[in-house]
A and B are shown apart, each in its own frame.
Chain A
Amino acid sequence: MNKKAEGPKKEKVVGTPALFVTEWWTQFLWDMYCPGCQTPLVGRLIAEAIEELGIGDRAIMVMGNGCHAYLAGGLDFDVTSGGHGRAPDIATAMKRVMPDGIVFTVQGDGDCVAIGADALIGALSRGEKITIIMVNNTNYGTTGGQMAPTTIVGQVTTTSPQGRNPDVEGYPTHAAELVATFRGVSYSARGSLHTTANYRRTKKYITTAFQRQAEGVGLSFVEVITACPPNWHMTPIESLAWIEEKAIPDFPLGEFKNVTHIE
C-alpha cells in the first residue's frame, strides 16, 4: 500500500467547478454562507450544466435579493441584479434585446413567490424564453428566518413561533406546480439536494432547463429545496433528515411539465 502512495500518477476527478472564480470564493464568499447551507451547490450545478452545454460565453445571470445573490461574485458569467423580486423583468428585457443569449435568473423563495410573484406571473403568461432557478429553503433566510409563502404547515419560524397555522397564515405555495399550469412554459421541475440520488436528478433538471432555453421552446423553471440549518435550528445532518420527513411530503419532487413544442 505504501508503495503506491509514494508517487502514484493521479488525475483530478472532482474539484471546484470550472466556471467558479476560485480566489473570490475562497477569500470572501465562503464566509457569507452558513455551515450546511446548500445554496452554493445550486451555483455549482448551474456552473456544471452551463459548462456541459458549452453556452458559458453567452450566459447572463440575473440575481434577485437574498442569500443566493452572493453567488453573483462567485460565478464567472455576466451578472446583473434586479430589484427585489423583479429579476424576471430584467431577464425579459435582456432576452428581447439579445435573443441569442442564455438569460437565467436565480431567485429565492421569498424573492420569487412572495415579493416577485407579480413579475413571475407576468413572465409566465408572456411565455418568455428564459430560465428561472428558484432556491427554496422554506423561510426568509437572509433576514433571520421569518415565515415565507413556502413555509410548511406547523413549521416554527421567527414570525410563527407556534408553528404555521393554516387558519391564520394559510398553506404553502407550490411554485413548480403553479408554473406548470401556464401554456408558455416548456419545463417545470422540483429537485432536492438531501441525498446523492436527488443531487444527480436535480442536476439533470437544471441541465434540461438550460437545454430548453437553448432550443428556444419557452420558459423553463426549476425549484430546488435546500437546507437552511441555522434558521431551522438544527444541525446540518438533522436538517437533511427534516427535508426527507417534512418537506418532501409537502413538496413532491419530479418533473411537472416537459414539452419540446408549444402549440
Chain B
Amino acid sequence: MAKGEIVIDETICKGCGYCAEFCSRGCIEIPGDKFTAKGYLIPVFAHPEKCNACGVCAWMCPRFAIDVYKYVEATAK
C-alpha cells in the first residue's frame, strides 16, 4: 500500500539516474524513450504502490528535482 508519493520536476531533471539507482524498492524507472525538452532521459515514478516515502531519492538527487510527500493517516481520530 502506498504510504507516499514523489513529484519529479521534469524541467530541471538532468537524467543522471541516481534516483532509480538508490530507490531500494524499485519505484522509479528510467524508460529510455522519454526525454526532457533539453534531451535528457527522465525517470518515471513507475510503481507508486511500493513507495513508503523514505526520501532517499530526494536526498541523492543532485538537481533537487524530487519532492517527497508522505500521506498523513486520516484514521487517527
A interface residues (Cβ-Cβ under 8 A, vs B): 1, 4-5, 8-17, 20, 25-26, 30, 33-41, 44, 193, 196, 199, 229, 235-237, 240
Q: What CA separation (Å) do A236 and B71 show in the bound complex?
A: 31
Do the beta carbons of A236 and B16 come within 8 Å of each other? yes
**Chain A interface SS verdict (over half):** mixed
Which of A8, A14, A36, A237 is the most central at the interface, judged by chain B CB atoms within 10 Å of its CB?
A14
Residues of B within 8 A of A237 (CB): 17-18, 21
Q: What CA separation (Å) do A37 and B61 show in the bound complex?
A: 10
Residues of B within 8 A of A39 (CB): 62
Residues of A within 8 A of B22 (CB): 196
Q: What CA separation (Å) do A8 and B73 show in the bound complex?
A: 8
Q: What CA separation (Å) do A199 and B56 show in the bound complex?
A: 10
B interface residues (Cβ-Cβ under 8 A, vs A): 1-2, 4-5, 9, 11-12, 14-18, 21-22, 40, 48-49, 53, 55-56, 58-60, 62-64, 66-72, 74
Q: Which of B11, B62, B67 sits near A33, CB closer than 8 Å?
A: B62
Do the beta carbons of B63 and A30 come within 8 Å of each other? yes
Q: What CA separation (Å) do A226 and B5 show in the bound complex?
A: 28
Q: What CA separation (Å) do A1 and B63 show in the bound complex?
A: 31
Do the beta carbons of A11 and B67 come within 8 Å of each other? no
Residues of A within 8 A of B71 (CB): 4, 8-10
Residues of B within 8 A of A25 (CB): 12, 64
Evaluate whether A14 and B67 lie within 8 angstroms (CB atoms) in the complex, with A1-B2, A30-B14, A36-B18 already known. Answer: yes
Residues of B within 8 A of A199 (CB): 59-60
Do the beta carbons of B68 and A41 come within 8 Å of each other? no
Write the nearest CB–CB distance from A194 to chain B, whole angstroms.
10
Do the beta carbons of A36 and B16 come within 8 Å of each other? yes
Q: What CA separation (Å) do A188 and B34 show in the bound complex?
A: 44
Do the beta carbons of A14 and B74 come within 8 Å of each other? no
Write the nearest CB–CB distance from B52 to chain A, whole angstroms.
11
Write the nearest CB–CB distance from B56 to chain A, whole angstroms.
6
Q: A11-B70, A16-B64, A35-B15 are in contact. List 11 more A-B contacts (CB 8 A).
A: A4-B2, A5-B48, A8-B71, A12-B69, A12-B70, A13-B55, A13-B58, A34-B14, A36-B62, A235-B17, A236-B17
